[in-house]
């Protein structure tokens, strides 16, 4: 569950593809003041507006004034020229393992619009996140192409040019000794697992971060703070995990047995333990039957029908959740349900899924269950994005000093 506080700095930012607000909340808590939030989905816009009106987080009530519904393709970003940060998670269906894997040939690919926003806004830094699938070997060339465009956003594709021809020209420009003095960014790419940063979900996301070449950022990706080894050690070597939760030790998934046994003769792991579904939801009441909200708990209605089947076995409750999914892929009996390890299963409620994505308990999701799960399945975990955004803000501050 995300702590409700923000950093003392206030950098200026815009965000594309805001969705339910995961990345927007993260950057806000890291000290970025949003001057534009762009989102086309009606229910996601309602979620953003609802929470802006009722939020106790300082400064977030201004979100409703800067929310821009509709297609980003028709928006101009030139009025944000020189802003501190452009952030966004372009729609990921073209590259998702759960999608049709169309990639660069998919009309839903919004990475070109993110690149255009960088070109027009000329931010001091940008942060783009996407699904792990974008880093797959089959999309390696397109990832390279996207990164080069973000390095040299003014070197646009010509009307009579294919994307592969444009890639050649970008590569030649990148290796030239006589590059022009146009807009240029220093860009780093890395896949991060949210569980390694204290999120109760094993969710890998690719982050592409860039700093304008005139910024002396001296930035690097944050290092993991949590590990599976530490969780296994506290569960099956010291027993501290079970003692803290007041439980008897539970059976562990088979793939971890050999690793846990080997750890008994070694030193204790240094990092903090991965967080489990049980830890992150243990203080919630039982899911509500027939209603969504109580006086203090929102979106916690029981959804019936969960069942396992081959390839969709649920998430063991004493480990981080598997990657939450959006849409129909994996939802009926798969990743979005809890395996209680006693032969019983049920869907995560919206509130439990929000905990897994580290949304604040005050965050209320609009739309039916399937739509709220779509919003959550598409979101970036707040605590993961906050770590990255905070490090970007720190580097911007250091560059100013």
Count other C-beta atoms under 10 Å from residue 182's C-beta: 11
Confidence tier at 190 by pLDDT (50, 70, 90)? very high
Of 37, 92, 110, 277, catalytic: 92
For residue 46, is it within any domain?
yes
Q: What is the mean pLDDT of residues 165-184?
A: 91
pLDDT more than 70, % of the chain: 92
Smallest CA-to-CA distance from 387 within 219, 240, 249, 228 is with 219
Whether the per-residue pLDDT at 334 is higher than 90: the answer is no
Mean pLDDT of the chain: 90
User: Is the residue at 255 inside a domain?
Assistant: no
pLDDT range class, residue 43, cuts 50, 70, 90: very high
Q: Is 161 left (phi over 0), alpha (psi -120 to 50) or beta?
A: beta
Q: pTM value?
A: 0.92
Q: At what angle do helices 140-151 and 163-174 cross, to 10 degrees?
A: 60
The predicted-structure confidence for 271-322, as pLDDT tens digits, reads as follows 999 999 999 999 999 999 999 999 889 999 999 988 888 878 899 999 999 9
Name, in order, each residue with C-beta under 8 angstroms of 154's C-beta and a sequence gap of 6 or more. Answer: 119, 182, 183
Continuous segment of H or E residues that includes residue 193: strand 185-193
Q: In the 8-state DSSP scheme, what is residue 19? A: T
Distance CA 84, CA 13 (A): 6
- Asked whether the beta carbons of 59 and 8 are under 8 A apart, the reply is no
Neighbouring CB atoms inside 10 A of 327's CB total 15
The pair of structure tokens assigned to 42 is 């009606």
Between 55-59, 62-66, 197-201, 237-241, the lowest mean confidence (pLDDT) is in 55-59
User: The domain that contains 160 carries what CATH number?
Assistant: 3.40.50.150
* Cα 102 from Cα 109, distance rounded (Å): 9
Is position 92 annotated as part of the catalytic site?
yes
Number of independent structural domains in the chain: 1
Tokens representing residue 7 in the block = 């950093």
Is 106's pLDDT higher than 60? no
Quick check: 8 pLDDT over 70?
Answer: no
The CA distances from residue 96 to 15, 130, 131, 139, 388, in Å, are: 21, 9, 6, 11, 22
Between 309 and 83, the higher pLDDT residue: 83
Specify if 346 maps to a domain.
no
| Token pair belonging to 370 | 């399937």
Is residue 157 over pLDDT 50? Answer: yes
pLDDT above 90: percentage of residues in the chain = 73
Residue 78's pLDDT is 97
Q: Report pLDDT for 330.
A: 41
pLDDT of the residue at 96: 45
Would you say residue 357 lies in a domain?
no
In a domain, 5, yes or no: no
Give CA angle at 121 (116, 122), nearest 5°. 100
Q: Which pLDDT score, from 0 to 100, does residue 370 have?
A: 86
Using 50, 70 and 90 to split pLDDT, how confident is the model at 92?
Answer: low
Check if the beta carbon of residue 24 is closer than 8 Å to that of residue 85.
no
Give me the sheet containing 85-88, strands edge to edge. 67-69, 32-39, 11-16, 85-88, 125-131, 204-212, 185-193
Domain containing 82: what range?
Answer: 11-172+181-224+380-400
Please indicate, yes or no, if residue 125 is contained in any of the structural domains.
yes
Residue 365 domain-assigned? no
Give the mean model confidence (pLDDT) for residues 352-365.
96
Is the pLDDT assigned to residue 100 strictly greater than 70?
no
373: in domain: no
């Amino acid at each position: 569950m995300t702590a409700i506080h923000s950093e003392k700095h206030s950098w200026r930012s815009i965000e594309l593809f805001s969705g339910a607000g995961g990345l927007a909340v993260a950057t806000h808590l890291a000290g970025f003041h949003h001057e534009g939030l762009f989102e086309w989905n009606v229910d996601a816009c309602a979620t953003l507006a609802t929470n802006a009106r009722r939020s106790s987080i300082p400064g977030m009530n201004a979100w409703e004034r800067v929310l821009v519904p509709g297609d980003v393709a028709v928006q101009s970003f030139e009025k944000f020229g020189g802003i501190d940060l452009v952030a966004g998670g372009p729609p990921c269906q073209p590259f998702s393992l759960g999608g049709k894997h169309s990639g660069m040939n998919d009309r839903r690919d919004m990475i070109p619009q993110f690149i255009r926003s960088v070109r027009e806004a000329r931010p001091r830094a940008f942060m783009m996140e996407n699904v792990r699938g974008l880093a797959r070997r089959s999309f390696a060339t397109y990832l390279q192409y996207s990164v080069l465009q973000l390095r040299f956003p003014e070197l646009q594709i010509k009307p009579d040019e294919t994307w592969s021809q444009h890639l050649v020209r970008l590569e030649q420009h990148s290796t030239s000794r006589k590059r022009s003095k146009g807009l240029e960014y220093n860009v780093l790419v890395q896949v991060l697992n949210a569980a390694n940063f204290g999120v109760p979900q094993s969710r890998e996301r690719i982050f592409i971060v860039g700093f304008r070449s005139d910024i002396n950022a001296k930035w690097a990706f944050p290092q993991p703070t949590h590990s599976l080894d530490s969780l296994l050690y506290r569960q099956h070597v010291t027993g501290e995990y079970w003692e803290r939760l007041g439980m008897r030790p539970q059976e562990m998934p088979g793939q971890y047995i050999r690793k846990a046994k080997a750890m008994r003769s070694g030193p204790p792991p240094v990092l903090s333990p991965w967080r489990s579904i049980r830890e992150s939801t243990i203080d919630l009441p039982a899911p509500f039957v027939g209603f969504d909200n109580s006086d203090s708990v929102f979106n916690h209605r029981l959804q019936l029908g969960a069942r396992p089947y081959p390839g969709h076995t649920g998430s063991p409750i004493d480990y981080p959740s598997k990657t939450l999914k959006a849409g129909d892929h994996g939802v009926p009996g798969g990743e979005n349900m809890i395996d209680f390890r006693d032969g019983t299963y049920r869907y995560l409620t919206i509130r439990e899924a929000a905990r897994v994505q580290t949304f604040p308990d005050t965050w209320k999701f609009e739309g039916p269950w399937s739509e709220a799960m779509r919003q959550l399945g598409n979101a970036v975990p707040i605590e993961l994005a906050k770590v990255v955004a905070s490090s970007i803000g720190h580097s911007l501050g250091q560059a100013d000093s």
